[in-house]
Amino acid sequence: MTRPSIATLREWDRSHYWHSFTPMADYEPLIIERGEGCTLYDIRGNAYLDAASSMWCAALGHNHPRLNAAISAQLGRLAHCTSLGMGAEVTVRLAKRLADLAPGELSHVFFSSDGSSAVEVAMKQALQYWCQSDTPQPERVKYLSFGQAYHGDTIGATAVGGIGRFNDLYAPLLCEVVRVEPPDSRQVGSEPSDAQRCVDAALQRVERVLEEQASQIVAVIIEPLVQMAAGMLMHPPGFLRGVRRLCDKYNVLLIADEIAVGLGRTGRLFACDHEGVTPDFLCLGKHLTAGYLPLAATITTPRIFQAFLNRTPAEDRTFWHGHTYSGNALASAAALATLEEFEAHVLAALPAKIEQIAQRLSALADHPLVTHIRQRGMIGAFSLGASASVGTDGSTGKTENADQAPGRRLARYALEQGVWLRAKPDLIYVTPPLTISADQIDRLFDVIAAGLEFASAG
């Protein structure tokens, strides 16, 4: 088959491909033909270091031999079978593996195809749990979420999100959510006790809500440690543990949305591991198949699962929810191979990379444009310029004349130099594949450093 010309592909892209989270009036086609390791190649043959891991999912880079082999082998056996009343052998093995790895008692895995659906599943299971618990509590219909949370784009997940640009228009469709401001590492001063004070104040805000409303609240939903879409907002240590403690005290369920921060991104397999926390629901996606195939998981405890079992033939406690591709066999094979690769090579190599990123970030501290350098594992970020005030929505581009904002200028410069950064007006972040090499980390930060000069010259 002859490939259409570059000009034709660009024209088709503009005319027919409606891209996610993209202002289409300004869309400038960037058409990727192939990937190799941490590098993407466009149809012109230009190479780009994938510094955002294709939006936080390509944990092992691209065209990874172990993943390719696992998917090919599975393809020769079974691509897909339904999860309604049956399931693929490879998916059974994946469920067992996830149950073994997940913190604490988390042991029952419900599969879906994307992170939003995994959140939706947790929200619905939690609500149904209260309706079916020994003392039914159908009056629990609200959720508690944090500030500018992002949990996905289906209607339930949108409701618990807090980024106005993504939510406001759909308000009539959304369930009731109580929003509490999270602690923000950018607000922490230099005194050693400041972080604790910041965490304590946020926990008090949570407790005030729970004191009054716990009996109406289904669950607290949290992005553990880092609210990535909120502009790489990082919680100081202790917040997650404190939230778990309050959920226990007020008998509210805890949903940990680790779709972005889970499976190695923070330096450990699960973000909850940093604080010894077991949530009632753990949502995974993105890294689960290293971005190869759509798969997400909602993992819960025996206590929740038991409430869904019919005790008499007349009862109907079933979770009437599912997706055509739930537990897809090819995706399950990709996930098992990803977990094997994490354990064999990836996790052990992370500390050195995290340290290198820390050093390269701190070397930027003196630049006049740079403020609020922050890092959690393989997530490194800093704010840019005067507009980098706390509370700025780093994910939505609300800055005046955003196109000329320093972050956008820096990202354009980086693209010319062969580094793909997701452009934000007042935020630069790196979330590279976990397999990034030391040389690639250096190149990434060399380009960012030069990009800062470019952005300040404008």
Ligand X SMILES: Cc1ncc(COP(=O)(O)O)c(C=O)c1O
Q: Which residues line the annotated binding site for pyridoxal 5'-phosphate?
A: 115-116, 257, 323-324
CB 265 within 8 A of CB 78: no
Residues of the binding site for substrate: 150, 286, 322, 422
CB 118 within 8 A of CB 284: yes
Q: Which is nearer to ligand X, 116 or 387 (CB)?
A: 116
Question: How many Å apart are CA 236 and CA 254, to the nearest integer?
Answer: 19
3-state secondary structure of 13: helix
Q: How far is the CB of 294 from ligand X (least distance, A)?
A: 8
Q: Which is nearer to ligand X, 112 or 387 (CB)?
A: 112
Q: Which is nearer to ligand X, 242 or 291 (CB)?
A: 291
Q: How far is the CB of 23 from ligand X (least distance, A)?
A: 18
Q: Which is nearer to ligand X, 223 or 426 (CB)?
A: 223
Alpha-helical regions (H) of 76-114: 89-101
Q: What is the dihedral of CA 156, 157, 160, 165, to 10 degrees?
A: -110
Q: How far is the CB of 56 from ligand X (least distance, A)?
A: 6
Question: How many Å apart are CA 40 and CA 37, to the nearest integer?
Answer: 8
Q: How far is the CB of 119 from ligand X (least distance, A)?
A: 6
Question: How many Å apart are CA 382 and CA 188, to the nearest integer?
Answer: 15
Beta-bridge mates of residue 68: none
Q: Which is nearer to ligand X, 50 or 207 (CB)?
A: 50
CB 269 within 8 A of CB 342: yes
DSSP conformation letters of 71-86? HHHHHTT-S----SS-
Which residues would be at the binding site for ligand X (CB under 6 A)? 114-116, 119, 150-152, 223, 228-229, 257, 259-260, 285
CA distances 230 to 117, 187, 221, 270, Å, are 20, 15, 15, 20
Alpha-helical regions (H) of 214-266: 239-249
Helices and strands, number each (H, E), in the chain: 14, 16
Question: How many Å apart are CA 356 and CA 369, to the nearest integer?
Answer: 22
Q: How far is the CB of 115 from ligand X (least distance, A)?
A: 2
Q: Which is nearer to ligand X, 151 or 274 (CB)?
A: 151
Q: How far is the CB of 257 from ligand X (least distance, A)?
A: 5
Q: Which is nearer to ligand X, 325 or 445 (CB)?
A: 325
Alpha-helical regions (H) of 63-193: 65-75, 89-101, 115-132, 155-160, 164-167
Q: How far is the CB of 116 from ligand X (least distance, A)?
A: 3
